[in-house]
Structures are given as C-alpha cells and as structure tokens.
Amino acid sequence: MKSSISTTSRGYTLIELIVAVGLFALVMTLASGAYLLMMDLNRQTQDVATGVNSLSFALETMTRNIRTGTAYSCGVYGGDCPDGDEVFSFKDVNGENITYARGTQGVDGSVGTITENGIILTDPTVSVTKLTFYVTGTGTVASNDYLQPHVTIIVSGMTSSRVGKTSQPFTIETSSTLRGVDLTVTGSLTAPIVPVCVLTANPTSVLSGGKPTLSWTTTNAKSNGFSINQGVGAVSPAVAGSISAVNAITADTTYVGTVTNSAGNTATCSVTVTITP
C-alpha cells in the first residue's frame, strides 16, 4: 500500500511586502540622515580646528618674536599702555621693526585679522573682533622704571565653519616677557638744569621816540649768557640788571631776552612796550 505526502508552499502577501519595504525605507532614511549629520559635524569640526590652529600659530609666532625682541612700544605714541591698545611695535632679534595690529580682510572688510607689518597671520575662518595689547616696563632706569618689559595679549572673535553655520565665540589671553636684561640707562639720571629768565620794561607805554628801561633776572645762566634783541645785545651781569633801550621806538615793540646755561640750553622771555597815542 503506497502513501504520499503533499506539501504546500505560500509566498508573502502584498501587505507584508509593503510593511517590509516601508520599514526598510524608514531604517535607511534614519541611517542616511545620521550619516549626513555626522559628515556635516565632521566638516564643522575640521573648519573650527583649522581656525584654532591658525590662531594658535599666530599667537605662538607673536609671543616668540616679542620674547626675543627689544624696544617695546605700544600705541601710536609709544611707551607703556596699561589701559590697552590695538597696536604694538618692537625690534626683533634681527633688528627689524615689527608691528602687530588688528586688520580686516574680505570685500566688505567684515573679517577681522591679526597682521604683522600689514601681512595677515590668521585664517579667514577666524574673525578677530578685538585685539588688545597691555604693555608695561618700557621705560628705562633713567625714568625710574625698574620693571622688566611685559606684554599681555587678549584676542576675542568668532570661528565659523561655513556660511549659514553657527559661529563659535572665543577669547584667548597670552603674555610674553622680554628675555634679555633690561638695564639700559638712557639719558642722565638727573634732570637737566634749565635756564630761566624774566624781562620787564619801565614804562610799558611810551611816547613815540621814547626809550624804555629794560630790566631782567635769570636763573642757571652762565656769566655772559643773557642778551636782548632790538639792538641791545649781550648784557652783564647776566644774573640781573637793567639797561635803557638802544633804539627809540615809534611803534609797539616786543623785546625778547635769551638766556643760555653752561650746557648750551637756552630759554627766552619777552615784554612788549606800546606807543602812547
């Protein structure tokens, strides 16, 4: 007696196929979105890292050159700037004049930069909004400045990856101190003696053709170191005295005295005599 076994096979229904394809599409969409998001974040991170590396290179270059430089000068007028300034100058190790300052780049000049003698040091992905130098100790022993020259640099700005992306703010502070010995004495340790003079006239108003009497006193003048113009010339003694004017005056006249000390320094004093109507 023979027996037979029959098997029946059944495929997926349409609904099952639709559900399976939908789940697969959803999973792939989420995976693709995550992948694209990771790629975008990676690009942003690389761009920010490029900007930070550029800024680090610029600051490292600045501090190294400043540390080995001399003749620190801050701002337009030079010297110390305890309140801060955007311009700092010095001489590098080769004796070349170097100036660091904040500049701009781009068509509209909206991107701030750090420049060295006009050359841009920072990457376009970094926009420097504020660059401040605080400098002390640039004086000499002659000016009673015994501090070692010191520079503090503060940089603020934004790092941006691309247009339309969120910019990241930053503020960095670094400092540098002169490596060499700052004991240079410029000038004399004592203030130079300055001559002083006072010139008077009696009377201060005369008739036309009159001759006033001129009197003077001086301080720190050498023995023959005082003279008066208008034809009077050198007078003696230089420390004090009086003399009648040499020339008669017919119009308002100003007499100028010049005093000279032993070091050759000079100073002037004057008096005006008017004509009485």
**Whole-angstrom Cα distance, residue 99 to residue 91?**
9
Tell me whether strands 266-275 and 205-206 are parallel, antiparallel or unpaired. parallel
DSSP reduced 3-state for 182: coil
**Whole-angstrom Cα distance, residue 241 to residue 234?**
12
Exposed, middle or buried by CB within 10 Å (0-12, 13-18, 19+), for 122?
buried
**Whole-angstrom Cα distance, residue 131 to residue 205?**
61
Q: Give pLDDT tens digits along the chain (277 positions).
A: 455 555 555 666 778 788 888 888 888 888 888 888 887 777 766 666 676 777 888 888 889 999 988 888 888 777 888 888 889 999 888 889 999 998 887 767 678 888 898 888 887 778 888 999 999 888 776 667 778 889 999 999 888 755 556 677 888 889 988 887 765 555 444 555 788 899 999 988 999 888 999 999 998 888 788 999 989 999 988 888 999 988 888 999 999 999 998 878 889 999 999 998 7
Instruction: Provide, for the chain, the percentages of residues in helix, strand and coil under a 3-state DSSP scheme, each rounded to the nearest 5.
Output: 20, 40, 40
What is the Cα gyration radius of the chain? Answer: 41
**Whole-angstrom Cα distance, residue 48 to residue 42?**
10
CATH of 196-275 among 3.40.50.300, 3.30.420.40, 1.10.1060.10, 2.60.40.10: 2.60.40.10
Q: What is the pLDDT of residue 189?
A: 44
Q: Would you kindly state where each structural domain of the chain is located, as residue ranges?
A: 43-177, 196-275
pTM score above 0.85: no
